[in-house]
Amino acid sequence: MKYCVRYGVVFGCLLGVSYASGAVDISHTDFSERVINFIIFLAILWYLGAHRLKALLQSRQQEISSRFEQAQDRINEAKRGREQAQKQLEEAQKKAADIIATARKEAVVIAQKYEEQCSVDIENLIKSSESLMFFEQRKARVELVESVLKELFNSNAADIDTQEYVRILNKKVA
């Protein structure tokens, strides 16, 4: 409204100057009435539409402001999400490193256990094979003694007394 009044005053001054100078003769036209009507029209338009225009502009300003705030909130939320994802990634990497270290330690322990078990099994096999060899040697001696005795008993060629048999047997067994 202030602007309309200012423009009206400025226009009125210019109109008064143009009348005073006499350079332009507008006495036979209705120009001044039309200007006054236009100024009144602008004043009415301003009076009736200024509140609506202000309300429209304020609502538009608030809408833009709320969209901007929403965008800022989304940006902040995305930053928080990114930071949280980064923390989770770091934690997962730490856990993975811990799991790998634990697995390596367990692998070493298991390998040692298997080595110990294998060495115990090898020792047991050696002992059992030695005892088996001892029994087999003994069995072979017994069989040899039996075969020699059978031969001697079945053969009449050699008459040997009992003491001689015992000596031969002791010699063969030892």
Higher pLDDT, 171 or 48: 48
What does each C-alpha distance from 14 to 10, 11, 37, 61 come to in angstroms?
6, 5, 17, 38
Check residue 4 and give its pLDDT. Answer: 58
Domain spans in the chain, listed from the N-terminal domain onward: 2-137
pLDDT score for 61: 95
Mention every residue, 6+ apart, whose C-beta is less than 8 A from residue 152: 158, 160, 165
Give CA angle at 62 (61, 68), nearest 5°: 90
Across the chain, mean pLDDT equals 84
> What is the pLDDT, as a whole number, of residue 106?
95
Single-letter code of the amino acid located at 133: M
**Which token pair is 39?**
């100024």
Question: Which residues fall within 8 angstroms of residue 41, CB to CB, at 6 or more apart?
Answer: none
**pLDDT tens per residue across span 73-95:** 999 999 999 999 999 999 999 99
Give the pLDDT score at 46: 85
Chain centroid to Cα 81, Å, comes to 13
CB 111 within 8 A of CB 143: no
pLDDT higher than threshold 90 for residue 115: yes
pTM confidence score: 0.41
Phi first, then psi, for residue 113 (nearest 5°) are: -60, -45
Q: In the predicted model, is pLDDT for residue 21 greater than 60?
A: no
Q: What is the mean pLDDT of residues 27-55?
A: 87
Q: Which of 19-28, 50-59, 73-82, 162-171 has the lowest mean pLDDT?
A: 19-28
Confidence of residue 169 (pLDDT cuts 50, 70, 90): confident
- Looking at the chain, the number of H-run helices and the number of E-run strands are 3, 0
- Rounded to 5°, angle at Cα 116 from 112 and 122: 140
